[in-house]
Amino acid sequence: MTILIVDDSSTQRLALAALLEDEGYTDLLLAGSAAEALHHFKQNDRPNIDLILMDLHMPLMNGIEACRQIKAVEARRDIPIIMVTSSTETEDLQLAFTAGAMDYITKPPNEVELLARVRSALKLKHETDQRKARERDMQQLNQQLEQVLIDLADKHKMLMHEQEKSERLLLNILPKPVANRLKQSPEIIADHFEAVTVLFADIVGFTTLSAQIGPEELVKLLNDIFSRFDGLADRYGLEKIKTIGDAYMAVAGLPMPRSDHAAAAAEMALGMQREIAAIANGQLQVRIGLHSGPVVAGVIGKKKFSYDLWGDTVNTASRMESHGLAGQIQVTQATYEFLQHTFLFEPRGAISVKGKGELPTYLLMAKQGVAV
């Protein structure tokens, strides 16, 4: 530990130094004036000085003023200063304490008293330094912790954002109830539904139009059409299954069963006719087929999930579309029986369907009570 002895009397300086050296305090700095003492601090704003023994009465600048200037700097305020004085004037001592001195001893100093006060002051300085070091360490740890929390919050925010994106992507592929089941238990999902209505639609004239317009315009047009169809599916509660080229497939009655599945599919089919009429200026028409019955629905694939339907109902609905008429909605007897009292139909008669023979069909014209 370094002790600075400040006294204008060389005899006093050396006497104090000798006493301290005898007790093992060998790291001593000696200054013959207040100005010389302050010079140590001018050389280094944070000098390695642990204790100052300061003469009270010195020429040019006394110990009180020197004490005041030392303590005026934040980095020096913890250095204990013991005033060494021959004065017993209370006023002088009060000024010294006000300036920042922590203690005083009188000249000539008593060796036992001097050493006791020095040990006490150095112990206080050591404890203060340790406390300040702990405070700095705690402050640094708090700053590091705050940064870690900020980083974690940022990463959590990014993770939540990515999770939301993944959730949206999954819901674009799978119905929400099916997606939730798949997240909870990644097993094979296959369900039987006794009564649904399957809708197939194909845009008539699109192939011809695709040869007349650029690829960007073509994709933009198809996206606009299918986006409108998606809106109808949301509006009427159908589940979009897939699109293949310019064909669109949806189903009513799953994954949540509903008794009005045929009516919902019919409403969407009529809506699709209206949307095509509004967007295509007569250049395009939509051919739609509906059939009602049981299906099996499930998720296939591991890397690219697909929610699909299987069964005779799907095949028959597809045949209703492919054997239908441009601009018309063709339905089977099964779907007609669900809708005959609430929608208007025109009988088309029987048509030959591969693997099914002759099937009676009907053209859905409008909902009853709604002007065509």
pLDDT in tens, 261-284: 999 999 999 999 999 988 877 788
Instruction: Categorize the per-residue pLDDT at 182 as very low, low, confident or very high, splitting at 50, 70 and 90.
Output: low
Average pLDDT over residues 285-303: 88
pLDDT computed for residue 158 by the predictor? 87
CA atoms within 13 A on the CB side of 237: 15
Write out the H or E segment, with its range, that includes residue 265.
helix 261-280
Q: Is the pLDDT of residue 189 over 80?
A: no
Where exactly does CATH 3.40.50.2300 map onto the chain? 3-134
pLDDT of residue 163: 73
Q: Categorize the per-residue pLDDT at 205 as very low, low, confident or very high, splitting at 50, 70 and 90.
A: confident
Question: Using an 8 Å Cβ cutoff, are 77 and 57 in contact?
Answer: no
pLDDT over threshold 80, residue 326: yes
- Average pLDDT score, the chain: 88
What pLDDT is recorded for position 288? 97
pLDDT: which is higher, 188 or 14: 14
- Predicted pLDDT of residue 177: 65
Segment 128-136 long-range contacts (CB within 8 Å, at least 24 positions apart): 128/78, 129/78, 132/78
End-to-end CA distance of the chain: 103
Residues of the chain with CATH 3.30.70.1230: 186-367
Asked which of 45-59, 118-132, 239-253 is least confident by mean pLDDT, the reply is: 45-59
Return the pLDDT at 87.
67
The fold of 186-367 is Alpha-Beta Plaits (3.30.70)
Of 335, 361, 342, 356, nearest to 195 by C-alpha is: 335
pLDDT at position 306 is 76
pLDDT, position 213: 82
Neighbouring CB atoms inside 10 A of 332's CB total 24
Which pLDDT value is given to residue 250?
A: 95
pLDDT at residue 169, as a whole number: 62
Q: Which residues of 286-305 are buried (b: 16+ CB within 10 A; e: fewer)?
A: bbbbbbbbebebebeeeeee
The pLDDT value given to residue 295: 94
The pLDDT of residue 304 is 65
pLDDT of residue 296: 92
Average pLDDT for 126-148: 91
Residue percentage of the chain with pLDDT more than 90: 55
143-151: average pLDDT: 91
- Residue 47: pLDDT above 60? no
Mean pLDDT of 43-69: 85
pLDDT tier at 230, thresholds 50, 70, 90: very high
Pairing of strands 81-85, 103-106: parallel
Q: Residue 343's pLDDT is what?
A: 96
- Where is pLDDT greater, at 109 or 47? 109
| Complete DSSP assignment for 147-184 | HHHHHHHHHHHHHHHHHHHHHHHHHHHS-HHHHHHHHH
Of 110-124, 181-195, 201-215, 353-367, minimum mean pLDDT range: 181-195
Tokens of 77: 């305020």
Write down the pLDDT at residue 215.
Answer: 84
330 or 308, greater pLDDT = 330
Mean of the pLDDT values across residues 44-48? 60
Residue 111 host element (H or E): helix 111-173
Lowest-pLDDT choice from 79-93, 154-168, 213-227, 261-275 = 154-168
Answer yes or no: is pLDDT of 167 > 80: no
Closest CA to 191 of 296, 261, 292, 294: 296
pLDDT at position 276:
92
The set of residues, in sequence order, having a beta carbon less than 8 Å from that of 183 and lying 6+ positions away, is 170
Name the 3-class secondary structure at 192: strand
Model pLDDT, residue 270: 96
Domain covering 3-134: architecture: 3-Layer(aba) Sandwich (3.40)
Read off the pLDDT of each residue in 101-124 and give the average, rounded to a whole number.
Answer: 90
Residue 342: Cβ within 10 Å count:
13
* pLDDT above 90: residue 227: yes
At a CB cut-off of 8 Å and minimum separation 6, what does 350 contact?
Answer: 358, 359, 360, 361
| Closest-CA residue to 86 (of 30, 7, 4) | 7
Measure the CA dihedral 204/209/211/215, to 10°.
Answer: -110
Amino acid 355 reads: G
- Which residues are tagged catalytic? 202-203, 246
Q: Hey, is 254 helix, strand or coil? A: coil
